[in-house]
Amino acid sequence: MIKKSIYEDYEINFSDTYTSDDAYYFIFNENRELLLENKELITDISEMNVNFSLFIGKYKNKDCFVVNSSFEKGFDLREVYEFNKDLYLMGTKAVLVNDWYISHQFCGRCGAKTQIDEKDMMLKCPECGQMHYPRIAPAIIVAIRNEDKLLMAQHSYHETIRYALIAGFVEPGESIEEAVHREVSEEVGIKIKNLKYLKSQSWPFPNSLMLAFEAEYESGDIKVDGDEIVKAKWFKKDEIIRYSSDISISDWLIQRFIDTY
Ligand SMILES: [Zn+2]
């Protein structure tokens, strides 16, 4: 995963105070693919048919816009990560702005057409007053250790793929710590102790915020639900099959285990 902060290159600003013509454009199509030219951002959209264009601040000292247009093939952000980490990092923000604008054109409460706010990244309903902000879904991921072994599980929706760490979405009404204990109990049936938060990562596939934890095994036998989780077992570090990319916080957690134990 990328260690630098998005704010090293980006200054957030959602007002309409931009002045220059010199700008960067993050242009997405309906499949959330990013349009690039020679693997670089587009800097001129004057000839392009755009569905919408939103100013989102300064990127690398230029005005920066999220644009939606129709084109056949762009780059999946996961591909972008492999050849330009900076572009990927900013792209994770831009694609969420793109998604938010597309999906809140009408009020989910009363159905009226929404209006964009002048200062905030917010779409407001002129009829009922409901405010529509971008939606982020918090999710937990946890590296559970039993001495020199790491617990990994095989998810039913990834049956062809290797084992992964325990992860899941935070449910309404629970804390993130409660979410970890619940997910671990539901997916593998064990109890954990010494739960510790480590770090987080924006994961826009489609709109998660991943919160990474470590924990130690406390008690119980592994018991998978057979539905969401097919198999789960303890791995020594030399038994772990690594991901092909280091894009995710999951890979970072696994690397951390390998380096430490
Ligand atoms: Zn409304």
CA of 18 to the centre of ligand 1 (A): 30
> What pLDDT shows up at residue 120?
87
Q: Are residues 17 and 84 in the same domain?
A: yes
pLDDT the model gives residue 157: 75
CA of 131 to the centre of ligand 1 (A): 8
Is the same domain home to 158 and 98? Answer: no
**Alpha-carbon torsion angle 233, 234, 237, 242, nearest 10:** 20
Q: 37 and 23 in one domain? A: yes
Check residue 159 and give its pLDDT.
60
Is 157 among the domain residues? Answer: yes
User: Does 41 share its domain with 112?
Assistant: no
Residue 145 is assigned to a structural domain of this protein: yes
Q: Tell me the CA–centroid distance for residue 14 and ligand 1, in Å.
A: 22
Q: Tell me, what's the pLDDT at 169?
A: 97
Q: How many CA atoms lie within 13 A of 56 on its CB side?
A: 29
Answer yes or no: is 224 within a domain.
yes
pLDDT at 166 over 90: yes
Closest by CA to 137, choosing from 205, 40, 195, is 205
- The pLDDT of 142-165, averaged and rounded, is 88
Tens digit of pLDDT for each residue in 185-229?
999 999 999 999 999 999 999 999 999 999 999 999 999 988 888
Q: How far is the CA of 113 from the centre of ligand 1 (A)?
A: 8
Q: Is residue 122 domain-resident?
A: yes
Mean pLDDT of 166-174: 97
Whether residues 152 and 176 share a domain: the answer is: yes
pLDDT tens-digit readout, 68-123: 999 999 999 999 999 999 999 999 999 999 999 999 999 999 999 999 998 889 99
Domain containing residue 247: CATH number: 3.90.79.10
124 alpha carbon – ligand 1 mean position (Å): 8
Q: What is the largest CA-CA distance in the chain?
A: 63
- Encoded amino acid at 208, one letter: S
Span from the CA of 117 to the centroid of ligand 1 (angstroms) = 14
Q: Does 239 score more than 90 pLDDT?
A: yes
Residue-level pLDDT at 165: 96
CATH at residue 67: 3.90.79.20
* Residue-wise pLDDT tens digits, 25-42: 999 999 999 999 999 999
In the predicted structure, residue 16 carries a pLDDT above the cut 80: no
Are 85 and 154 members of one domain?
no
The reply to whether 129 and 173 lie within a common domain is no
152, 242: one domain: yes
CA 109–ligand 1 middle distance (angstroms): 5
Please report the pLDDT score of residue 158 as a whole number: 67
- Residues 37-46 as b/e (b if ≥16 CB within 10 A, e otherwise) read eeeebbeebe
Ligand 1 midpoint to CA 11 (Å): 31
Whether 77 and 191 map to the same domain: the answer is no
Are the beta carbons of 155 and 164 closer than 8 angstroms? yes
The residues near 133 (Cβ < 8 Å, ≥ 6 apart) are 100, 120, 121, 122
- What pLDDT score does 183 carry? 96
pLDDT at res. 161: 66
Task: Say what the pLDDT of residue 22 is.
Answer: 87
Domain count, the chain: 3
Stated pTM of the model: 0.93
- pLDDT for res 19: 72
The alpha carbon of 105 and the centre of ligand 1 are apart by a number of angstroms equal to: 11
State which residues form the domain around 253.
Answer: 137-260
Report which of residues 133 and 120 the model is more confident about.
Answer: 133
Average pLDDT in the chain:
95
Q: Are residues 154 and 201 in the same domain?
A: yes
